[in-house]
Structure 1
Amino acid sequence: MKALMPHFIVERPGVLSLIQDAGRFGQTHLGLTQGGPADRFSFNWCHNLLGNAHTCSAIEVVIGGLKLISQSHTIGCVTGAETPVTVNGKATPMWHTFEINIGDVIEFGFATQGLRSYFSVCGGFDIAPEFGSCSTVVREKIGGLSGDALKQGDQLPVFVDTDNPLPQSEINAIAPEFIPRFESSITLRVVLGYQHDWFSDLDIRRFFSSRYEISSQFDRMGYRLQGTKITANKTQMLSEGITLGAIQIPADGQPIILLNDRQTIGGYPKIGSVLSLDLDKLSQCKQGDYVHFEAISIEQAHNILHIDQHQQSLIQIVKKAYK
């Protein structure tokens, strides 16, 4: 039997802290975007280490500064951007489960490498879904506790299994060699779209041979880049659905890579789409970081995804007893 009760109080919300689950799907006909974790690898491994389903919710902590007070005895985990995390002032390793007691204070410093970290507990946070998901999309005022980022005084309930209140008897941690490193210069693999012939061969070569800088205009909706100008030979088109990772080329010729909170339709030409796996890396980048593009075929994209699934199955989990 499971009982619902508040477990964490937000003492300080940090720069931007959002409740996210796997995402909101099948609602684009209503104009609702998918939301969900910007870095799926880190989000999924937070839940893997806790023994949760990937549909469970977590807090996406952008940059840092979050401070929580626990109201239960449970197990927690933090993954993602390299961020100082303390429990009652004592440093706690990331990618590593840890015991949380009633009254414990969990505090996030500011990310030193990467941008987004993920925190959850066994069973996840019990947030009422809206249109099939509790993922927060601030622009749409949907998801989370009130369609907005966490605020001071918010209470975050979780499910507690009263028959097994502490479901893990030992620490789970990813072996250090499998923990991702977040770089300031990354390569994004791109599948060209059907509108690629709206661009000259010269512009396509420029696109794939240039280095682009991430501008100050980046968020969960998309990343606007700065660099070599790319021009489509068509400027007028009907609005159409936009996929995750689509690369729009607006009138100024500066690419925009669209992410989880993107609009559902748009009318800019699209040169192609970034491989979904590479969006995890992009979401950990910040202003001033650099992006290169590499063209791949659809067949190569499928093969890369299959190889990644196999590689993730080889990730080693280290177990040891709690002190």
Structure 2
Amino acid sequence: MSTMRAIASYRGLPIDDRESLQDVEVPTPQVGPRDVLVRVQAVSVNPADVKSRAGLAPTTEPRILGFDAAGVVEATGPEVTTLSVGDEVWYAGDITRPGANADLHAVDERIVARKPASLSFAEAAAMPLTTITAWETLFERFALTKDSTGTLLALGAAGGVGSIMIQLVKELTGVRVLASATRPESQEWVKQLGADGIVDHHDLVASTRAVAPDGVDYLFSPHSRGNIEAFAEIVRPFGHITAIDEPEGLDLLPLKAKSIAWHWELMFTRSIFRTPDMFEQKKLLETVAGLVDDKRIRTTLTRTIDDFSAAGLREAHRLVESGRSTGKVVVTR
């Protein structure tokens, strides 16, 4: 049996513990009928990676984490029709399967696309998970089109999802976009990406009213706990909210008087349930790759760690956990 190097975890531990992520040797993945086997060149670390690592139940088998990846197709399953050996690809993976923090990664072709030709592997690896989350929020949950107008507020806008969401809104819709950012470097980052106004999440109602006196039509929330009453004040009647977090005991009743719609977004839903439209994730990644190569969308990479090992990934997790990074952190070979 052939083996490969990977970075794995055996239980949830603080990131400063050297055993939180470890270098291991594991069997090379088996390629399913619709899988491509990717030689991974770069991965990025998302809050989802941090959450998965920190909450991992004890296991005797190494748990390989990692979602975002970019690399080169090394083999294909017998039913693969859209990709070939040698293709340079990007994707966000599948939460039900071993992750991308490894030499080789097997992943379903329906959620993999050719990466933007103009980007390096590191620049490409920064984007898939956040791009899919932002795209599905904007164009599936909110059903925005090129003709849409109104105002959208993206909370946590200097992070990975917000950084791509601002760009997609500005390029593909007529919607005005407000961004929550507090530190000067975060505010400068979202302005560079195209934000029309800045909001302070520490004083959400007043700062939103200052730039949108009539409220907002759409709100993206990665941090909903304790904010529902504020959302009810700043979102206009018949507005929409999409959340990606899952705080326990969330009470949405304050939204009822304005008939505000609440949506959930989990970009892994299609791969978890093998939905008939799994190809939609490939399609949207192909569309965004075109936007990138046309210089309409830019990578959200802000920090590269050139150390594809447990030590390098621990450093990336540490940066993301700090909550003070803008854009995306990538670990590359």
Q: Which of the pair is proportionally richer in strand?
A: 1
Common topology (TM > 0.5): no
Identify the structure with the greater helix proportion: 2
| TM-score scaled by length of structure 1 | 0.26
TM-score using structure 2 length: 0.25
